[in-house]
Structure 1
Amino acid sequence: MAGLRVLVAASEVAGFAKTGGLADVAAALPRALARLGNQVAVVMPFYNAVRRSGVPIENTGIVLPVPMGGRVLATRVLRSRLPNSDVPVYLVEHQPFFERDDPATGRSLYQQAMPGGYKADYPDNAERFVFFSRAVLELVPHLGFMPDVVHANDWQTGLVPVFLSEGYRTQSGYQRTRSVFTIHNIAYQGMFGRDVLNLTGLPAWLFNPAQLEFHGHLNFLKAGVVFADAVSTVSPTYAREVQTAEFGCGLEGLLAGVHAKLSGIVNGCDYDQWDPTADRHIASPYTAETVFDRKPLCKAALQRRFHLPEDPKVPVLGMIARLVSQKGIDLVMSAAPGFLDMGCQIVVLGDGDREYHDELQALRDRHPDRVGIYLGFNEGLAHTIEAGSDLFLMPSRYEPCGLNQMYSLRYGTPPVVRTTGGLADTVVNATVENLADGRATGFSFGDYTAAALYETVKWALTLMRDRPADFQQVVRTAMAQDWSWDRSAVMYEALYRKVCNLV
């Protein structure tokens, strides 16, 4: 079967510029698709972060004319490659829009720090990503192949399917190109004033409740959903959840109405980067056969790193997350006294809302020999926590897919999760029945309460302390799971073939 030609458009790509999980997907999925024999390219903006990353960059000589309202902006296109692959990454350069990020001054890819410590979106984000979405389609004739599929991701590229459907598909070479739009987090929709429509060059009659308009605003994410030939989310459970009022963020009716073209595919785990058998960040590599001999060395290293007493019998609860309410940090803080009463140590790595920073620092100050925190992000320390913890806490309010629970499975650190989104799809709860069947890979609960989290950790500790054979079975079963990107890429390829009528 002939390979497909795919252009992946994303506002961030790991190794080049990253703020969240979208970047991981945009780096790993194209490589996995290429391994299946498909021809793949990636396109993203050229941020300062790309320059700082140190990746090799070459000038393509391509200059694109990008229509913006009543004017045309010229933009250079640079090129690099995804690490460890031949997949090209095209970098759309436009200094006024994209070369402003600077961690030293609190300026990220989409936001800037404001007086008082809070973060605000750049006021021209609409203009920036109208421009990028048009540039994506202007780039197509220069790729060296006409894509069968343009795969757009999140609100920043939500207009790509609109431009393809309403403008480019009538042009030579674009007629057979189809669009796939993936929702990574429906809470972020890219809503802007109606006047933004003037920048797009799209006809005014598209601004109606069935297409681009959403409560008087132009909604980029809604646009992608309406105009894409297929829509996906990053887990099957999340695809169902976003069709409900609890999780749909106002778009549940629309998504229920297009359910025939909506699907969910779990993100993959990059086992090249997250492999306990060859992880340079951890104290002692280990396999499923050596986990109970070697993992204690990783635990001791973690305890030393956070200046906690080195005691192999003390359970260590690890958490790596953005410190925002979505991630369940409020549940962890409420349940923390109970965890400490059960004899646990707690280690947390993350950055986020100031109130949670303050609460964590106060908890550590009260219990310096039981609690370790690192405010910020540190890649090596993330690996150390995954390898050294006994249990991994991920009690999210909602979680479209999640990656850390998959890392935890591979590292033999059973995750404690709430049954939502991708957490529900990837973790098999250690019920009595699942333990008897040898299927359990972690621990889960349904109610979003600190009491439910506490009771679930209590059950996990019961297995650790009183039923070690059962706990060891959970660890080994978890480590045997395959949530690789190769698995996910096969499902994306099937979706592409379906949308191109090549099944």
Structure 2
Amino acid sequence: MKGKYRIFYITPEIAPFISSSANANISGTLPKILKNLGHDVRVMMPNYGVVNERKYILRDVIRLRDMQVDFAKKSFSINAKSAFLPDSKVQVYFLDHDQFSSRNGIYSDTKGKETYDDNIERFVLFNWGCVQTLRSLHWQPDFILCNGWPSIFLPLVLRHELKDDDFFKNTRIIFCDHSDSMQVKLGLAQMKQAGLSADYLSDYVTSGNDVGVKEIANSACDAIVYSTDHKKKEELGQLEQFISHGIDYQDWNPESDEKIAEKFSVDSIHLKIENKKILCDDFDLEYDADVPLVMLLIDDDDQAEKLNDILSLLKELNLQVIIVSNSSVRAFETLGKEISDTIRLKVDPSVKVKHQVVAGADLCLQLNEESGVVESRFLQKMKYGAIGIIPETSIKGFKPETHEILENLSLWGKFNIDVTQSLKDVLMRMCDAYKDHAKWQKSMQEAMQIDFSLMKSGEQYTALFKSLLKR
């Protein structure tokens, strides 16, 4: 079909299978938007041990079994399983090998928090596995979108190891940086040990004895996309482009959300109260029209270390709270669903439950400080009228459009994550504002009218695809 392309999207993380970074969040939404625009999109990530295969129904693919990959004077037997991104027809392939599936972390051991010393070899294997998967599927992509530093090895392989391979001769490569991947330095010795040749690696060596991701991307890729404003637009190079990633309003929209009890809009904001009542009933909380219900998001043990002080504060202010976390947070292993009379815990909630909690919550409190994660969640929750409270350290990396939104919003909160009193001051201000129900309703309506659609991002990528084909 004219103007529609085959897109192979490779990434180390995809939400909701893995939800720990801005890359994961973008990788869980952008492929769906590109699919909805008519493109043929397939996604690939490693099958880590923490991926819940039963929950997401990963299936074996007969022609992707026992694939052989040879590099670094070794032969690896790999498999790829398949599933779909929830609520979509986007197919995701999971590279299956012991170097990923037998470990309890992604880049490091979650117990000791020590970075795996063979990460470069692991992700070189992943990149070679992506190549072999495409061959086994007999599927030649027009574009390969490489997301984050673990995918930078694919441009190296295609531009050097497979430069004369007709299978990829018409494929364009785009490197996507959603955080600070372009600043990452990779050990030259480890890259050689992983089978990458010194003959071409020397072209990318920076000061010291490291290989720069930026140097590889600038030389081996056809385009580079930034999703955060690390550079001013006038400073962007010829290959570089800034594409602001918004929110998937097709999936996160209270007006059309089939997962929540009562759909609502700016004009029917009173129905949000019905969602809150049902949510309280589901979590065995007593509904109180004068007490705000807080959704507290905790992603890892570092954030959980602050939990005792925060729980004491929430109890002191007599707030109702639903904590949403994942099973990798070990601090919750000894806690039950009911932490106190007013605080509940939900570990590894389904997508449906996440939507229901957002639809019923008055406030959304985040402890994560990674700008991309905080920003997307903040905008997503505000669409449902859940007023955001976020660490002030996360705001610096927000996109210019989001800064403009914050300047015009009358009600939201920021706090110093290392000072409990700072959070207390914000929560007390929110409690005071909540007492005036009419004013609070106007604040929710104001938040819900934010328009930061991800569809715009998909259209910008499509324009980039067209421009690359003309070069």
Aligned match of 1:70 in 59, 73, 88?
73
AA at the equivalent of 1:58: V
Contact 2:389 2:415 in 1 (8 A): no
Residue 159 (structure 1) aligned with residue 153 (structure 2) = yes
The corresponding residue for 1:480 is 449
Residue 317 (structure 1) aligned with residue 270 (structure 2) = no
Residue 177 (structure 1) aligned with residue 171 (structure 2) = yes
Q: Distance in 2 between matches of 1:157 and 1:430?
A: 33
Q: Deviations over 1:369-410 (max 9, x none)?
A: 444444665545433431222111236533124432233122
The corresponding residue for 1:347 is 322
The corresponding residue for 1:411 is 384
Q: Deviations over 1:328-371 (max 9, x none)?
A: 985x876776666555334322259979769x97xx97xx3444
Residue 299 (structure 1) aligned with residue 276 (structure 2) = yes
Residue 398 (structure 1) aligned with residue 370 (structure 2) = yes
Q: Deviations over 1:83-136 (max 9, x none)?
A: 66554444545x4434425xxxxx3455555xxx44444454332211121232
AA at the equivalent of 2:291: V
The corresponding residue for 1:250 is none
Q: Distance in 1 between matches of 2:52 and 2:431?
A: 44
Q: Distance in 2 between matches of 1:263 and 1:333?
A: 43
Residue 235 (structure 1) aligned with residue 228 (structure 2) = yes
Residue 497 (structure 1) aligned with residue 466 (structure 2) = yes
Q: Distance in 2 between matches of 1:151 and 1:410?
A: 29
Q: Deviations over 1:287-326 (max 9, x none)?
A: 333322x32233334445555443110122322131455x
Distance 1:86 1:277, change over 3 A: closer
Q: Deviations over 1:454-481 (max 9, x none)?
A: 4444444444334x44432331232233
The corresponding residue for 1:197 is 192
| Structure 1 unaligned residues grouped into runs of 5+ | 102-106, 244-254, 435-439
Q: Distance in 2 between matches of 1:344 and 1:43?
A: 42
TM-score, scaled relative to structure 2: 0.78
SS at match of 1:412: coil
Distance 1:56 1:192, change over 3 A: same
Q: CA deviation at 1:197?
A: 1.7
Contact 1:323 1:352 in 2 (8 A): no
Contact 1:183 1:231 in 2 (8 A): yes
SS at match of 2:26: helix
Distance 1:214 1:151, change over 3 A: farther
Q: Deviations over 1:402-452 (max 9, x none)?
A: 432233122111212342334774476676xx3xxxxx3752548666455
| Structure 2 unaligned residues grouped into runs of 5+ | none
The corresponding residue for 1:10 is 11
SS at match of 2:197: coil
AA at the equivalent of 2:435: R
The corresponding residue for 2:254 is 276
SS at match of 2:125: helix
Distance 1:35 1:382, change over 3 A: closer
TM-score, scaled relative to structure 1: 0.73
Q: Deviations over 1:56-95 (max 9, x none)?
A: 54323687553311244454556665566554444545x4
Distance 1:301 1:150, change over 3 A: same
Q: Distance in 1 between matches of 2:259 and 2:171?
A: 43
Alignment RMSD: 4.4
Report how many aligned residue pairs link the two structures: 460
SS at match of 1:404: helix
5 Å matches for 1:409-448? Answer: 409-417=382-390, 418=392, 419-422=395-398, 425-426=401-402, 434=408, 440=409, 442-445=411-414
